[in-house]
Amino acid sequence: MSTASGSAARPLAVVILAAGQGTRMKSAHAKVLHELGGRPLVRHVLETVRVLAADRTVLVIGHQADAVRAACSGLDVAFALQAEQRGTGHATTIARDACLSDFSGDVLILYGDVPLLRAETLMRLIHGSSGRMRRKLVRNQSSSTVLARNGIASPAE
């Protein structure tokens, strides 16, 4: 795989955040388990990211973890359990520590409830704009999560 500029591509990991309860939906089901077209929302996202041929795909699960895991059966995905939902920064730290501690490369972080996300959009994000849109997950001295944008580190959003 290569970037739009022709240089060798870096390894890619995809982290999909799917641990939340979806309390605003006022439903007994986890938000990512709601169906669209007969499939759970999270399954749409996982099937879309397959086109990226990522080196690793990590699904952060929490609320109704067993049901989310079952909904994703048959797909090549690693699971990271966020037992206590404390936000997206915490979820990315869980993914890093559980499944990406030895990973060196670019990390694309997505939400598990965006079933209309298009593979073409993700490909442009990763390969287009000479990498200006890339985000990397890095570890700082206090071991908290930081997003690096064009080499400039800032606290996780």
Of residues 24 and 69, more confidence is placed in 69
**CA dihedral (110, 112, 114, 118) positive or negative:** positive
CA 107/CA 126 separation, integer angstroms: 10
The pLDDT tens digits for 77-127 are 999 999 998 989 999 999 999 999 999 988 999 999 999 999 999 988 887
- The DSSP element (H or E) to which 127 belongs, if any, is helix 119-127
What is the domain partition of the chain in residue ranges? 12-155
pLDDT at 21 (0 to 100):
78
Q: What does the pLDDT average to over 53-72?
A: 97
pLDDT at 124 (0 to 100):
84
CA 9/CA 148 separation, integer angstroms: 18
Contacts of 125 (CB under 8 A, 6+ apart): 108, 133
What pTM does this model have?
0.78
Is residue 10 part of the annotated active site? The answer reads: no
pLDDT at 150 (0 to 100):
44
pLDDT at 110 (0 to 100):
95
Of residues 26 and 32, more confidence is placed in 32
CA 5/CA 61 separation, integer angstroms: 35
Q: What does the pLDDT average to over 20-26?
A: 77
CA 109/CA 135 separation, integer angstroms: 8
Q: Answer whether residue 135 shows pLDDT above 80.
A: no
Mean pLDDT of the chain: 81
Of residues 133 and 16, more confidence is placed in 16
Of residues 61 and 143, more confidence is placed in 61
- The CATH number that domain 12-155 falls under is 3.90.550.10
pLDDT at 8 (0 to 100):
60
Between the alpha carbon of residue 42 and those of residues 31, 67, 86, 136, 154, the distances in Å are 9, 11, 20, 22, 28
- Are 126 and 52 in contact, with CB atoms under 8 Å apart? yes
Model confidence at 128, pLDDT cuts 50, 70, 90, reads low
pLDDT at 47 (0 to 100):
95
